[in-house]
Amino acid sequence: MPEQALLESDAYADRIRDVLASRTSEDGGADGGADAARQLWRALGSAGVLRDLYLPAASREPIMLSPCLSKLEALLTALDSSCPMGLTLSVCVQVATIIPALSAAVPGSPARRTQASALAGEVVGAFAATDAGAAGSDLTALTTAVAVQDTVLRLTGGKRWIVNATIADYAVVLARHRPGPHFTSFTQVLVPTRSPGVRAEAACTSLLAGSGVGHLRFSGVELGRDHVIGRTGQGLPSFADQAATERVAGALWANALARRVLSATYEHLNGRILGGRRLWDNDAIRQRFARSLLEQQRLQALCRRPYPPGASRSQQLLSAMLVKAAAATSLEAVLADCAQLEGAEGFRDDGLQLLRAEAAMFAIAGGTTETMLAGIADHAADLLRTP
């Protein structure tokens, strides 16, 4: 990373830590309560952290295609060190997926106005892609439909396991506007969640507290035609670009999480005495720890340059699949080893066994590891030809 960019990222990280420290001192802690995600989002927005995530140092206009990856890493690392996973997830989805998605909208449209409010921390968003009528890995089979008329949209269907569903002011909804699996059959729509016909239901889970994860139902929701985000028929290509950014963001977060857990486990092994010796002095334990450390370092190396220089769009999509698959498998290996090395301590209410359960989402959200591997296999010849 160039020196100037490094300095900017360090200064950005300092601002985030100030926001988190102030928030903790004001409310007594960064818990996962019902309002915690909204409060965190508001604090980040009012401090300019959200807007500056997309801005080069001397520019007045946001570059919204994707966040600055070095600043995104700083944000997710700081959140991971201070907040429950559910709160970090709530922020991650918005900065990596939802705010970029709104960029495709026409200037002056409801979506662009919503984007400005979101960057200020005034409204919370949800990204509703996973469909109630189809498997999560088969978006072209989704049944949520939008009838596009001259001046009116009519939305019907449902979405499941949506982050921020129960706390969102608006949702970006992927829906089909005509039958068939062709990639031009899908459109993204901005849906204010207070619109008549929108119903949110909390998911039946105690994991990822604060993420507002739940299900959304749309029963004949009527909206103005100006609530289409971008052009009709461009929903799926736009979603692919947004998913690529989300996958890289997830890998950056997974790397920060793995590094944090390894650091804590290292301290545990050096402080725990067995038979008059530190656990760290046991060669078998050292080797097992080193194996996990190697996994984290491999993931970190991928995260340092997720996209090849001058990569085409197709290469960026492939690189995002590679880094996401690596993040899921490496994190799973690290948490499994560290939880075993911590023994009974891992079963505390805030222990590694619970963290392992919550971190299983890295192998599912944004595309399952199996789906990523299938996509990677499709490009095997290209990957093997590339120096």
Confidence bin at 56 (pLDDT 50/70/90): low
How many percent of the chain have pLDDT more than 90?
72
For CA atoms 70, 73, 77, 78, the dihedral sign is positive
Confidence bin at 2 (pLDDT 50/70/90): low
The answer on pLDDT for 193 being more than 60 is yes
Mean of pLDDT values over 150-178: 96
Cα separations in angstroms, 37 against 33, 86, 88, 243? 8, 8, 8, 22
One-letter-per-residue 3-state SS of 282-345: CHHHHHHHHHHHHHHHHHHHHHHCCCCCCCCHHHHHHHHHHHHHHHHHHHHHHHHHHHHHHHHH
**What's the mean pLDDT when you consider all of the chain?**
90
Least confident of 116-125, 175-184, 187-196: 175-184
Q: Does domain 3-124 match CATH 1.10.540.10?
A: yes
Query: 240 near 187, Cβ under 8 Å?
Result: no
Kindly give, in sequence order, each residue whose CB lies less than 8 Å from that of residue 377, ignoring residues fewer than 6 positions away.
Answer: none
Query: 111 near 229, Cβ under 8 Å?
Result: yes
The identity of residue 152, as a single letter, is V
Mean of pLDDT values over 185-200: 96
DSSP H/E element including 176: strand 170-176
Kindly give, in sequence order, each residue whose CB lies less than 8 Å from that of residue 229, ignoring residues fewer than 6 positions away.
Answer: 101, 102, 104, 105, 111, 172, 187, 188, 189, 190, 235, 238
pLDDT of residue 275: 85
The answer on pLDDT for 4 being more than 90 is no
Confidence bin at 28 (pLDDT 50/70/90): very low
Confidence bin at 254 (pLDDT 50/70/90): very high
Q: Using CA atoms, how far apart are residues 205 and 213, in angstroms rounded to an integer?
A: 9
**Class in CATH terms, 126-233:** mainly beta
Which residues does residue 93 pair with via DSSP β-bridges, in sequence order?
none
Q: Using CA atoms, how far apart are residues 18 and 75, in angstroms rounded to an integer?
A: 12
- Within the chain, all domains assigned CATH 1.20.140.10 are found at 236-385
DSSP H/E element including 128: strand 125-128
Query: 351 near 345, Cβ under 8 Å?
Result: yes
Mean of pLDDT values over 197-205: 96
Among residues 30, 25, 28, which one has the least CA distance to residue 41? Answer: 30
Kindly give, in sequence order, each residue whose CB lies less than 8 Å from that of residue 336, ignoring residues fewer than 6 positions away.
Answer: 356
The answer on pLDDT for 58 being more than 90 is no
Mean of pLDDT values over 253-280: 94
For CA atoms 266, 267, 268, 273, the dihedral sign is positive
Q: Using CA atoms, how far apart are residues 334 and 284, in angstroms rounded to an integer?
A: 16
- Within the chain, all domains assigned CATH 2.40.110.10 are found at 126-233
Mean of pLDDT values over 355-376: 94
- The HSE-up count of residue 219 (CA atoms within 13 Å, CB side) is 6
Instruction: Give the burial class of 284: count Cβ atoms within 10 A of its Cβ; 0-12 exposed, 13-18 middle, 19 or more buried.
Output: exposed
Confidence bin at 133 (pLDDT 50/70/90): confident
Query: 130 near 136, Cβ under 8 Å?
Result: yes
Question: In this predicted model, what pLDDT tens digit does every residue of 284-303 receive, in sequence order?
Answer: 999 999 999 999 999 999 99
Query: 125 near 165, Cβ under 8 Å?
Result: no
Confidence bin at 9 (pLDDT 50/70/90): confident
pLDDT of residue 274: 82
- Within the chain, all domains assigned CATH 1.10.540.10 are found at 3-124
pLDDT of residue 233: 87
Instruction: Give the burial class of 196: count Cβ atoms within 10 A of its Cβ; 0-12 exposed, 13-18 middle, 19 or more buried.
Output: exposed
The identity of residue 259, as a single letter, is R
pLDDT of residue 5: 60
Query: 358 near 85, Cβ under 8 Å?
Result: yes
Q: Using CA atoms, how far apart are residues 262 and 255, in angstroms rounded to an integer?
A: 11
Mean of pLDDT values over 143-172: 95
Question: In this predicted model, what pLDDT tens digit does every residue of 301-349 receive, in sequence order?
Answer: 999 888 777 788 888 899 999 999 999 999 999 999 999 999 998 999 8
Confidence bin at 184 (pLDDT 50/70/90): very high
The answer on pLDDT for 192 being more than 50 is yes
Query: 214 near 230, Cβ under 8 Å?
Result: no
- CATH T-level assignment (fold) for domain 236-385: Butyryl-CoA Dehydrogenase, subunit A; domain 3 (1.20.140)
User: To 10 degrees, the CA torsion angle through 127, 77, 74, 330?
Assistant: -80
pLDDT of residue 25: 60
